Chains A and B, each alone.
Chain A
Amino acid sequence: MNDRLQLPHLDYAALAPMLILFGIACVGVLVEGFVPKRVRHSVQLTLALAGLVAALIMVIRQGDNPVITASTAVAIDKPGLFLSGAIIVLGIVSVLLIGERQLEPGGAFVAQAAVTANTDRDREQAARAGGATEVFPLAMFALAGMLLFITANDLLTMFVALEVFSLPLYLLCALARRRRLLSQEAAMKYFLLGSFASAFFLFGIALVYGYAGQVDFHSISAAIRAGGKDDILLYVGLAMLAIGLLFKAAAVPFHVWTPDVYQGAPTPITALMAACTKVAAFGGLLRLAYVGFEGTKTTIQPVLGTIAVLTMIIGAILAVTQTDIKRLLAYSSIANAGYLLIGVISLNEKGLSSSMFYLVAYGFTVLAAFGVVTLVRDADGEATHLSRWAGLGRRSPLYASLFTFILLAFAGIPLTSGFTAKVGVFAAAIDGDQTWLVIAGVVSSAILAFPYLRVVVMMWLSEPGETTPAVSIPGAMTAAALVIGTVATLVLGVAPGALLDLTQKAGSFLG
């Protein structure tokens, strides 16, 4: 036996994307300290975008070269690379929304989070001061954490990554420029519930370790196949792990934070969470289900299936009653988590590829949706109450048309990405003998169409009221984000071939 501590071999090329993002995040922190306030925003923005683009290039270069590195802690396999690419691309679009400063002076973020809300000083900073630029390094830390999370090959790395991407998000939620109490409440709620979820996850790790004697997925999978150990440890542990992940994925009954947080957080951050966090959470869930616990298939399918049905139906029904556009999109996001779960539960090759397709398709659409939400505003900031959207189609037909298209995509009308994505997961489920999930999915889709249609009716068929706000002309960055989101929604609906091909080639996980 060798007493010298062996440093694990690191494949730097494979790890480059997350290393770049972590590095950029650290540089961003330094920028906060040493760069004059005047230019800080542009420097941070440039850094963030450059870092993301560089990371994306590294992901593409790694391409067809799956490796397990850092001892066995990180698996840069094909699905991992695909999902990394997805997070980075969606992250770029989110950063465009985050960096927007033309819609209101100083951007969507508070200048000094420490100033007490609703004081004179707070009003002063809301009116004028440039927003906090710390959001960029925080967002980069979050994105880097997500990259690690979806490629983590053992439970402990996964837990560390979960915390790395969660903590910045908690902070980001609290940084809204307006309605700060709501924003702080959202952050607090998210933090407390998120901590509980993390604790469950950690406890689950301990139990699974008790069962398998190891924390890496390969060994866990082998232990399950070998059998002969105490199954209670395994299933209780697995349930706790699932709770931690389903919380992030916003599945019922772990969804209660979602509407409050989506509503309270600054809208660009809501967009980031709805698009990127969703990819990360489901990326982790996919790896857990397909690599670590594939052997428990017969047990987890009905349990997760029940959760999926609950998530779809409850998300859809509660969406019907919403009167705030951000809460409505939050419930829609919950229902969409249900559709994604269908793909996960199928536990076949189609399930994996269709889930990945769904994540990308949904991410682009939801980014465009929140992009439009940032535009509909009056003197007090965004006008998110649905009644304020009445007659928007008359005031600004272009953005109302865009949003209508996005809503049709959410409703799953053909020729939008929402439709192709749903077809994909439904096909995977029928292929995996889970037809009941498809029936539930179909019913919930029909329910869910109603709230979307209500917004369409509001925008087009209602008369504009006194209080209908005008739509602001977006700055270049929001416009870019909107265009990317909408075009992707259309292209993935009309000609999904290329992305389908990519997801199918992304094949399977390395165990």
Chain B
Amino acid sequence: MSHFPYLTVLTAAPLVGAAGVALLPKDKPELAKRVALGWSVLVLALGVGLWTQFKPNGDRFQLRDSWTWIPQWGAKFTFAVDGIALVMIALIALLVPLVILASWHDAEHSKRSVSAYFALLLALECTMIGVFAAQDVFLFYVFFEVMLVPMYFLIGSYGGQHKQYAAVKFFLYSLLGGLFMLAALIGLWVLGGQTFDWQTLVNADFSVNTERWLFLGFFVAFAIKAPFFPFHTWLPDAGGAAPAGAAALLVGVLDKVGTFGILRYCIPLFPNATKDFAWLGLTLALVGIIYGALVAIGQNDLKRLVSYTSIAHFGFIGIGVFAFTTQAGTGAVLYMVNHGLATGLLFLVVGMLVARRGSALVTDFGGAGKLMPVLAGVFFIAGLASLALPGTSPFVSEFLVLIGTFTVNKTVAIVATAGIILAAGYVLWMIQRTTQGTPNPKLAEIKAMGRDLSVREAVVVAPLIALILLLGFYPKPLTDVINPAVKATMQDVGKTDPKPIVGTVEAGK
């Protein structure tokens, strides 16, 4: 290997950090936090290094590292990234330090060890980076499953109400999906020439029926992970019970593995089956948009509400993936990043509100903006980003998805547009009921409600807001790397974009 093994190091580094933090003396929680933060910033620096090494117009997969692992099965430690994986890894590297900073006091009020919380966050980062960086299908599966373990303990040990129930439900749902994928994976291995190498498997041919069954095995796992309707019921529970930082990672990153998996594995490995089942993906995604939005409007728990909004957003991503146009696909991948930023921000801000109020119920707030105008303002910005207001980055992606879909499937695009209106409903109503209007008299009695955004919290939200606005006006750095990868993926499925009738629409216009 001629180049520095960025991906291997990037995947292993958080794990090393996790082990280090876990081994720190238990009576020095402050030290554990500082080490964890420092380490995650180091990982971020590595991530920046990775980005600079990636050539947007180079090969589809770059920075490939490969090490032998289980030669008997043809499984290798192979890492490589395309543009899609690259932006997701960058998102992870960025979010984790912010989440660590935002969770500074989260673990203290639980009776568990503080250092273990931060060790688990770093371990989670390792598996998240690994799952996007893996280029070997077996390795991908390993990360896909192992990812559950740290998240399970984060929810179960440090979560809020019903944390045990939520943690077990999350684990079992994901495991069930994962096991179906395992069956399909082994089938793929047996029929595809007893190798787990992605490229070799892409070139393998299967009979129509086999391909469909294999596709369904993978699809179920990804649909649960994403999650698409009707496999979504674990997400509101998990998102509602998880500590805010973990929830931001869960919804911001973990769930993207589902749509990423469809793009990286379902489409290239089973192009024909993916086309055959595109109607299924589109339908589930559409139902998710409408259903998620309607249920979100009715929620009284802020974290559950944000979880349901995410289900609606995943619907948009799903449409973008299954529309099979470069625009929609690019939009979907861009949405994966932007949703991570916007919903990550929203979850973190909600976490700050909940930490002050000691409750996540909307009805326990009311007029909170009078007490802490800056935090309420940030909450408002996060909400606007979440409803994809023009000028914020999610707008660009939503718009790309919709126009990309409209060129091939007008009905779907039109129905999905209704989701935008509903999004305005749930976000604005949520903000109105919590921060606007007559102040809830009970709020004044709570001392913590008087504290506005602290410096630490400002450091957490500032980069996210800056990125949301920056990418809202100038998404080119992202689209430049995403576009070639999506194009290549669409070629795998054998689809070319329909000729534009009116004219081309530039991203971010």
Q: Which residues of A contact B (CB under 8 A)?
A: 408, 411-415, 419-420, 422-423, 426-427, 430-431, 435, 438-439, 441-443, 445-446, 449-450, 453-454, 457, 460-462, 495-497, 500-501, 504
Interface string of B58-73 (1 = CB under 8 A from A): 0000000000011111
Could you pull out 9 A-B pairs where Cβ atoms are within 8 angstroms?
A: A420-B70, A427-B73, A427-B189, A446-B172, A453-B172, A457-B168, A462-B164, A496-B70, A504-B72
A413–B146 CB distance below 8 A: yes
Q: Which residues does chain B contribute within 8 Å of A431, judged by CB atoms? A: 190
* Bound CA–CA A314/B148 (angstroms): 26
Assuming the contacts A497-B72, A501-B72, asked whether A461 and B167 have C-beta atoms less than 8 A apart, the reply is yes
Partner of A438, one of B145, B153, B186: B186
State in angstroms the CA–CA spacing of A460 and B72 once bound together. 37
Q: Is the CB of B157 within 8 A of A414?
A: no
Is B469 among interface residues, defined by CB-CB distance under 8 A?
A: no
Residues of chain B within 8 A (CB-CB) of A495 are 69-70
Q: Contacts A415-B142, A439-B183: A497 and B70 contacting too (C-beta < 8 A)?
A: yes
B176 contacts A430, CB within 8 Å? Answer: no
The residue from B164, B180, B186 contacting A427, defined by CB atoms under 8 A apart: B186
Distance of A355 from chain B, by nearest CB (Å): 15
* Residue of A whose beta carbon sits closest to that of B168: A453
Flag if A445 contacts B70 (CB, 8 Å).
no
Please determine whether B146 and A442 come into contact, CB atoms closer than 8 angstroms. Answer: no
Q: Counting CB contacts under 8 A, is B163 at the interface?
A: yes
Residue of B nearest to A439 (CB): B183
Q: Are A413 and B186 in contact (CB under 8 A)?
A: no
Are B186 and A446 in contact, CB atoms less than 8 angstroms apart? no
A394 to chain B minimum Cβ distance, whole angstroms, is 8
A449 touching B70, Cβ below 8 Å: no
B48 within 8 A of A: no
B25-44, CB under 8 A of A: which get 1 and which 0? 00000000000000000000
> In the bound complex, do residue A414 and residue B141 qualify as a contact, i.e. CB atoms below 8 Å apart?
yes
Provide the residues of chain A in CB contact with B167, threshold 8 Å. 457, 461
Question: Which residue from A435, A450, A454, A461 sits with its C-beta under 8 Å from B163?
Answer: A461
Cβ contacts under 8 Å, A501 to chain B: 72
Complex: chain B residue closest to A394, CB-CB: B111
- B508 close to chain A: CB less than 8 A: no
Q: Does B171 contact A (CB under 8 A)?
A: yes
B residues less than 8 Å from A419 (CB atoms): 145
Contact string, B171-199, partner A, CB cutoff 8 A, digits 1/0? 11001100110110011011000000000
Q: Is the interface of B mostly helix, strand, loop or mixed?
A: helix
Residue pair A413, B190 in contact (C-beta under 8 Å): no
How many whole Å from B63's CB to the nearest CB in chain A?
24
CB distance from B124 to the nearest CB of A (A): 15
Q: A460 to B172, Cβ gap below 8 A?
A: no
- Chain A residues with CB under 8 Å of B187's CB are 430, 435, 438
Instruction: Say whether A414 contacts B146, CB under 8 Å.
Output: yes
| Interfacial chain A residues near B172, Cβ < 8 Å | 446, 449-450, 453
B149 within 8 A of A: yes
Known: A461-B164, A461-B167, A497-B71. A446 touches B145 (CB 8 A): no
In whole angstroms, how far apart are the Cα atoms of A431 and B194 in the complex? 10
A460 lies within 8 A of B190 (CB): no
User: A449 is contacted by which of B72, B175, B186 (Cβ under 8 Å)?
Assistant: B175
Cβ contact within 8 Å between B186 and A430: yes
CB atoms of A414 and B164 under 8 A apart:
no
Taking the closest CB of chain A, its distance from the CB of B419, in whole angstroms, is: 32
Closest A residue to B143 using CB positions: A414
Cα distance, A437 to B171, chains bound together (Å) = 24
B156 touches A457 (CB 8 A): yes
CB distance from B139 to the nearest CB of A (A): 9
What's the Cα separation between A511 and B4 when bound, in Å? 54
Q: Do A414 and B142 contact each other (CB < 8 Å), given the known contacts A408-B149, A427-B190, A449-B175?
A: yes
Partner of A423, one of B156, B163, B171, B182: B182
B-chain residues with CB within 8 Å of residue A462 when the two chains form the complex: 164
| Bound CA–CA A454/B189 (angstroms) | 33
Contact flag A415-B156 (CB < 8 Å), given A423-B182, A501-B72: no
Q: Which of B70, B72, B148 counts the most A-chain CB atoms under 10 A from its CB?
A: B72
* Cα–Cα distance between A426 and B183 once the two chains are bound (Å): 7
CA distance A412 to B179 in the complex (A): 9
When C-beta atoms are compared, the residue in chain B nearest to A494 turns out to be B69
Given contacts A423-B182, A445-B179, 6 further A-B contacts (CB under 8 A): A423-B73, A426-B183, A438-B186, A442-B179, A461-B157, A495-B70
**Cβ-defined contact, B146 with A453, below 8 A:** no
B449 to chain A, nearest CB (A): 30
List chain B residues, Cβ under 8 A from A414: 141-142, 145-146
Q: Could you say which residues of chain B place their CB within 8 Å of the CB of A426?
A: 182-183, 186
CA distance A295 to B163 in the complex (A): 55
Q: From known contacts A430-B190, A446-B175, A461-B157, infer whether A438 and B183 are also in contact, taking CB-CB under 8 Å.
A: yes
* Closest CB in chain A relative to B241 CB, distance in Å: 11
Question: Which residues of chain B from 412 to 461 have a CB within 8 Å of any chain A CB?
Answer: none
Neighbouring B residues of A423 by C-beta, 8 Å: 73, 182, 186
> Smallest CB–CB gap between B67 and chain A, Å?
12
Pick from B146, B153, B176, B179: contact of A460, CB below 8 A: B153
Residue of A412, A435, A446 with most chain B CB atoms under a 10 A cut-off: A446
* Complex alpha-carbon distance, A49 and B304, angstroms: 59
Instruction: Type the 1/0 row for B268-306, where 1 means its CB is closer than 8 Å to any CB of A.
Output: 000000000000000000000000000000000000000
A116-B128 Cα distance, complex, nearest whole Å: 60
B146's nearest neighbour on chain A, judged by CB, is: A414
The closest CB in chain A to the CB of B71 belongs to A497
Docked complex Cα distance between A412 and B72 (Å): 20
Which A residues are CB-close (under 8 A) to B71?
A: 497
The residues of A that contact B142 with a CB separation of less than 8 Å are 414-415
Q: Which of B62-89 contact A (CB under 8 A)?
A: 69-73
> Nearest residue in B to A411 (C-beta to C-beta)?
B175
Residues of A within 8 Å of B175, CB to CB, are: 411, 445-446, 449
- Closest CB-CB distance, A494 to chain B, in whole Å? 9
User: From B164, which residue of chain A is reached at the shortest CB distance?
Assistant: A461
Choice from A430, A442, A500 contacting B70 with Cβ under 8 Å: A500
Q: Which residues of A contact B190 (CB under 8 A)?
A: 427, 430-431
A503, closest chain B residue (CB) = B72
A residues in contact with B164, CB < 8 Å: 457, 461-462
Establish whether residues A442 and B183, one from each chain, have CB atoms under 8 Å apart when the complex forms.
yes
Name the A residues within 8 Å of B168 (CB-CB).
450, 453-454, 457
Q: Are A413 and B183 interface neighbours, CB within 8 A? A: no
